A and B are shown apart, each in its own frame.
Chain A
């Protein structure tokens, strides 16, 4: 007892002493790396706050000296060359992303639950398809995808951005990993109590799968929010463009010099939601991602 009591503080002290220098170096290194990684972000925030004269100073400035919110007000109230207000783009992005996320969560959870907990005939084939789809890159199927969407008559509508992105292999795979951990006995108990299959799924499986589908929702949100490709292909009407595409229109074309500040502001507004969503769900996402990653 006494030896222990003597030994412990001694060891603690030793460790603390030994680690201070290396710990300092560690913090220094990490901070430098974070600064490097965060520099573009920081620059973006600054640029969105810079008045026009400061944007074109040579040598270019990284840090804003006279911050102004004019870029934002310009962006939101008047954009000379465009007939569609910027808020419309925000709405487009929000609407398509939110609908896609909700639908994807629902469809993928239902599918994964059905596949894992019922083991229907042919489940092996379906799973093989999922794994194959995981490793496919989308550019192989660009044109045929367009043809399908075209044939369904969805081109140039919100649905073209929503429907093709609902049944995503990655989301399905993620939920499937978690479904396998669901204890059968709980589901069986509910069935014996006379619950219909959908009720079992909705009231028992879904709450238990919450970590999986919150993560799925975050990733789905981030991916769809940042997606530049499908609106580029499917949307031609200016009024239906989503933020990333609108950003490109804003950043290119005539009068771009005068709009440099507004582009900065637009970029900033575009990045905020994904960071917010992630910041709120951070703990859960990290946990789930590592879990599913290790299992795959």
Chain B
């Protein structure tokens, strides 16, 4: 009897401690939870409701459920949505691979032991600091004639004359894109650098002993070992391009919200847009998953 009744009070006390610790945890968490509920969870809820309804009365935001009507309008009546959307998709699909390849190359280059490594690392990261906000716009769009700095580098006039207009245009377009990509890949470079530093040096040593060239080592060691980071960067880049402030789609949604005050319509559009971005990310994950090297010790 005594033996049976012994564990009971002990268990009770442990429950007490657990509960006390839980309580303490929530005291620590409360400020954060309040913030998230107010400025994330509740807005999400309202936004979903808005996307499927029509605002009847602006005061107090009274809404009536209309189902998919907003979406019908998006696809069948709005002449601006689909072209803008396609433009954003086109830009993203073009810029993402460029960004990934470019930042990987840069990361490999500045991962070498060399003079001024710290300087280069900072230099490539500075665009991130200036953000994607208005300052960035201001910076890239400066200049009285508007084009000189936007395009970063102008094809020198002499070369332009030699090549002819059509070729110059292609070259200029390419240079523009390089500037853009350069300004958008700071974070990716840092992530790649970290990934590169995580690869064990003994692998390269072994390959070198076996007589592998640098080129072979890149394809057979670096690329497979860094594939998880590539995946992460692809997702990051896609999301970054999609949510960028200079993005025409984001701009359109914003205008719909604050200039036209069609909240429900803007909400419907932004959900469509967000879900599309999510689908693209998932597709990338699915496509890339079989090529990702899994070290088995993923955390």
Nearest-CB distance from B234 to chain A (Å)?
Answer: 14
The residue from B39, B44, B193 contacting A140, defined by CB atoms under 8 A apart: B44
- Taken residue by residue from 118 to 131, chain A's Cβ proximity to chain B (1 for < 8 Å, 0 otherwise) reads as 11110100100100
Q: Is the interface of A mostly helix, strand, loop or mixed?
A: helix
CB of B248 to closest CB in A, whole Å: 13
Contacts of B270 in A (CB 8 A): 137, 139-140, 142
**Complex CA distance for A20 and B152, rounded to whole angstroms:** 30
Question: Which residues from A are CB-within-8-Å of B164?
Answer: none
In whole angstroms, what is the CA distance A34 to B130 when docked? 15
A227 to B258, CA, bound (A): 17
Query: Who on chain A is nearest to B18 by CB?
Result: A121
Cα A141 to Cα B267 in complex, Å, equals: 8
On whether the beta carbons of B40 and A133 are closer than 8 Å, the reply is yes
Which residues 262-279 in B have Cβ within 8 Å of A in the complex? 263, 266-267, 270-271, 273-274, 277-278
- Which one of A137, A148, A152, A251 has the highest number of Cβ atoms from chain B below 10 Å of its Cβ? A137
Binds B, one of A2-10, A55-63, A84-92: A55-63
A39 to B190, CA, bound (A): 21
**B254–A142 touching, CB < 8 Å:** yes
| Neighbouring A residues of B121 by C-beta, 8 Å | 286
Q: Check if B22 sits within 8 Å of A296, measured CB to CB.
A: no
Contacts of A274 in B (CB 8 A): 129-131
Contact B133 A62 (CB under 8 A): no
Q: Mark B96-136, 1 if CB is under 8 A from A, else 0.
A: 00000000001001101010001011111111111111111
Is A271 among interface residues, defined by CB-CB distance under 8 A? yes
- Judged by a CB distance under 8 angstroms, whether B224 is at the interface is no
Q: Tell me the minimal C-beta distance from B275 to chain A in angstroms.
A: 10
Which A residues are CB-close (under 8 A) to B124? 33-34, 37
Q: Are A228 and B239 in contact (CB under 8 A)?
A: no
CB contacts (< 8 Å) of B250 on chain A: these are 139
With a cutoff of 8 Å between Cβ atoms, the chain B residues found around residue A293 in the complex are 190-191, 194, 232
A148 and B254 contacting across the interface, CB-CB below 8 Å = no
Whether B142 and A43, one on each chain, are in contact in the complex, defined by CB atoms closer than 8 angstroms, is yes
| Contact across chains for A111 and B39 when beta carbons are under 8 A apart | no
Cβ-defined contact, A244 with B133, below 8 A? yes
In the complex, A17→B42 CA distance in Å? 64
Report if B52 contacts A (CB, 8 A).
no
Rounded to whole angstroms, the CA-CA distance of A120 and B112 in the bound complex is: 45
Chain B residues lying within 8 Å of A120, measured Cβ to Cβ, are 21-23, 25-26, 29
Please indicate the chain B residues that have their CB under 8 angstroms from the CB of A108 in the complex.
Answer: 32
Is the beta-carbon distance between B127 and A37 smaller than 8 angstroms?
yes
Of the A-B pairs whose beta carbons lie under 8 Å apart in the complex, a sample of 6, sorted by A's number, is: A39-B149, A55-B144, A137-B243, A148-B39, A278-B126, A289-B187
Q: Which residues of B contact A (CB under 8 A)?
A: 21-29, 31-36, 38-47, 50, 61, 106, 109-110, 112, 114, 118, 120-136, 138-140, 142-145, 148-149, 152-153, 178-179, 182-183, 187, 190-191, 193-195, 197-198, 229, 232, 239, 242-243, 245, 250, 253-254, 257-258, 263, 266-267, 270-271, 273-274, 277-278, 299
Q: What is the interface of chain A, defined by CB distance below 8 A to chain B?
A: 23, 26-27, 29-30, 33-34, 36-41, 43-44, 47, 55-56, 58, 60, 62, 107-108, 110-111, 113-115, 117-121, 123, 126, 129, 133, 135-145, 147-148, 152, 163-164, 166-167, 169, 172, 197, 201, 222-223, 225-229, 233, 244-245, 247-248, 251, 260, 263-264, 267, 270-271, 274-275, 278-279, 282, 286, 289-291, 293-296
